[in-house]
Amino acid sequence: MLLKTSLRSFFAHKWRLVLSLLAVVLSVAFVAGTLVFYNTATSTFDKLFASTASDLAVSRAEDEIADGAPGRVPTIPVGTVAKVAAEPGVKAAIGQVMTSDATLVDPATNKVVGPTTGAPTLTGNWTDTPRNSVEITSGHAPQGADQLVLDADTAEKAHLGLGSKVRIITDANHDFTLSGIATFRTTNPGAALAFLDTATAQRVLLGTEAYTSVEVFGDGTRTNEQLKAAALADLGGDFQAKTAAEQKKENSDDVGSFLNFMKYAMLGFAVLAAGVGGFLIVNTFSMLVTQRTREIGLLRAIGGSRSQVNRSVLTEGLILGVLGSTLGIGAGLGLALGMIQLMKAVGMNLDASLEVTWTVPVVSYAVGVLVTLFAAFVPARRASRITPMAALLDHAAPVEPRANRIRTAVGSLVTAVGAVALVLAASSSGATGGLLIGLGVLATLVGAVVLGPLLVSGLLRLLGGALPALFGPAGRLAQRNVMRNPRRTGSTAAALMIGLAVVVGASVITSSMVSSATAQIEKSVGADYIVGGGRTPIPAAAAEAVERTPGVDHITRQKEVPAELTTPDGARTKTDLIAADPNFTRDFRLPVASGTAEGVFNGGLSVDQEFADAHHLKVGDPIAVAYGEGRTQTVPVAAVLATGNQLFDGSFFTGIGTVSTGLNGQLPGDSTLFAGASAGADEGAVLADLEKALESYPQLMVKDQAGYKDMIKSQVDQLLSMVYGLLGLTIVVAVLGVVNTLALSVIERTREIGLLRAIGLSRRQLRRVVRLESVVIALFGAVLGSALGLAWGVTARSVLADNGLNVLTVPTGTVVTVLVGSVVIGLFAALVPAFRAARMNVLAAIASD
Partner 1 sequence: MTTAASAAHLSPLPEQDGTAARARQVTKAYGAGETRVTALDAVDVDIERGRFTAIMGPSGSGKSTLMHCLAGLDTVSEGRIWIGDTEITGLRDKQLTKLRRDKIGFIFQAFNLLPTLNAVENITLPMDIAGRKPDQAWLQQVIDTVGLSDRLKHRPGQLSGGQQQRVAVARALAARPEIIFGDEPTGNLDSRSGAEVLGFLRRSVDELGQTIVMVTHDPVAAGHADRVLFLADGAIVDEMHNPTADSVLTRMRRFDGKRTS
Residues in the site for partner 1, rule: CB under 8 A?
Answer: 397, 472-473, 476-477, 480-481, 483-484, 751-752, 755-763, 765, 842-843, 846
DSSP 8-state symbol, 802? G
Q: Which CB, 248 or 768, lies closer to partner 1?
A: 768
Which of 359, 375, 331 lies closest to 28 in space, CA to CA?
331
Q: Which CB, 200 or 481, lies closer to partner 1?
A: 481
Taking the chain, what is the end-to-end CA distance rounded to the nearest angstrom? 27
On whether the CB atoms of residues 76 and 211 are closer than 8 A, the answer is: yes
On whether the CB atoms of residues 212 and 98 are closer than 8 A, the answer is: yes
CA pair distance 489, 283, nearest whole angstrom: 9
Strands (E), 185-305: 192-196, 210-211, 213-218, 239-243
Q: Which CB, 416 or 842, lies closer to partner 1?
A: 842
| DSSP letters for 32-57 | HHHHHHHHHHHHHHHHHHHHH--SEE
Q: How far is the CB of 482 from partner 1 (least distance, A)?
A: 10
CA distances from residue 651 to 69, 224, 575, 641 in whole angstroms, order as listed:
16, 43, 8, 9
| DSSP letters for 759-776 | TT--HHHHHHHHHHHHHH
CA pair distance 767, 770, nearest whole angstrom: 5
The C-alpha angle with vertex 18 and arms to 16 and 19, in degrees rounded to 5, equals 100
What size, in residues, is the chain? 849
Which residues have a Cβ under 8 Å from the Cβ of 48 and sit 6 or more positions away? 133, 186, 187, 188, 189
Q: Which CB, 709 or 749, lies closer to partner 1?
A: 749
CA pair distance 702, 16, nearest whole angstrom: 59
Q: For residue 328, which amino acid is it?
A: G
Q: Which CB, 3 or 842, lies closer to partner 1?
A: 842
DSSP 8-state symbol, 650? T
Q: For residue 473, which amino acid is it?
A: P
Q: How far is the CB of 458 from partner 1 (least distance, A)?
A: 17
CA pair distance 625, 635, nearest whole angstrom: 7
CA distances from residue 429 to 269, 417, 435, 798, 804 in whole angstroms, order as listed:
27, 19, 10, 8, 12
Q: Which CB, 334 or 398, lies closer to partner 1?
A: 398
Q: How far is the CB of 397 from partner 1 (least distance, A)?
A: 7
Helix (H, G, I), strand (E, B) or coil at 810: coil
Q: How far is the CB of 465 from partner 1 (least distance, A)?
A: 14
Which of 528, 643, 532 lies closest to 590 in space, CA to CA?
643
Q: Which CB, 457 or 524, lies closer to partner 1?
A: 457
Secondary structure element (H or E) that encloses residue 104, with its range:
strand 103-106
Q: How far is the CB of 765 from partner 1 (least distance, A)?
A: 6
Q: What angle do the packed helices 466-484 and 430-463 form, to 10 degrees?
A: 110
Q: Which CB, 502 or 761, lies closer to partner 1?
A: 761
Q: Which CB, 515 or 774, lies closer to partner 1?
A: 774
Q: How far is the CB of 485 from partner 1 (least distance, A)?
A: 10
Q: How far is the CB of 761 from partner 1 (least distance, A)?
A: 5
CA pair distance 360, 30, nearest whole angstrom: 11
Q: How far is the CB of 355 from partner 1 (least distance, A)?
A: 55
Q: How far is the CB of 736 from partner 1 (least distance, A)?
A: 25
Q: How far is the CB of 821 from partner 1 (least distance, A)?
A: 29
Q: Which CB, 302 or 759, lies closer to partner 1?
A: 759
Beta-bridge partners for 139? 180
Q: Which CB, 453 or 551, lies closer to partner 1?
A: 453
Secondary structure element (H or E) that encloses residue 90, with its range:
strand 90-96
On whether the CB atoms of residues 733 and 27 are closer than 8 A, the answer is: yes
Q: How far is the CB of 830 from partner 1 (least distance, A)?
A: 18
Q: How far is the CB of 845 from partner 1 (least distance, A)?
A: 10
Q: Which CB, 413 or 758, lies closer to partner 1?
A: 758
Q: How far is the CB of 764 from partner 1 (least distance, A)?
A: 8
The C-alpha angle with vertex 708 and arms to 703 and 714, in degrees rounded to 5, equals 125
On whether the CB atoms of residues 320 and 21 are closer than 8 A, the answer is: yes
CA pair distance 13, 787, nearest whole angstrom: 37
Q: How far is the CB of 771 from partner 1 (least distance, A)?
A: 16
On whether the CB atoms of residues 495 and 734 are closer than 8 A, the answer is: yes
Q: How far is the CB of 472 from partner 1 (least distance, A)?
A: 6
Is 684 buried (19+), middle (13-18) or exposed (0-12) by CB count in 10 A? exposed
Q: Which CB, 375 or 744, lies closer to partner 1?
A: 744
Secondary structure element (H or E) that encloses residue 220, with its range:
none
**Pairing outcome for strands 239-243 and 56-60:** antiparallel
CB atoms within 10 A of CB 528: 22
Q: Which CB, 165 or 484, lies closer to partner 1?
A: 484
Q: How far is the CB of 783 from partner 1 (least distance, A)?
A: 23
Q: Which CB, 557 or 749, lies closer to partner 1?
A: 749
| DSSP letters for 555-595 | EEEEEEEEEEEE-TTS-EEEEEEEEE-TTHHHHB---EEEE
Q: Which CB, 721 or 762, lies closer to partner 1?
A: 762
**Pairing outcome for strands 173-184 and 147-151:** parallel
Q: Which CB, 480 or 554, lies closer to partner 1?
A: 480
Q: How far is the CB of 464 from partner 1 (least distance, A)?
A: 12
Q: How far is the CB of 473 from partner 1 (least distance, A)?
A: 4
Q: Which CB, 571 or 842, lies closer to partner 1?
A: 842
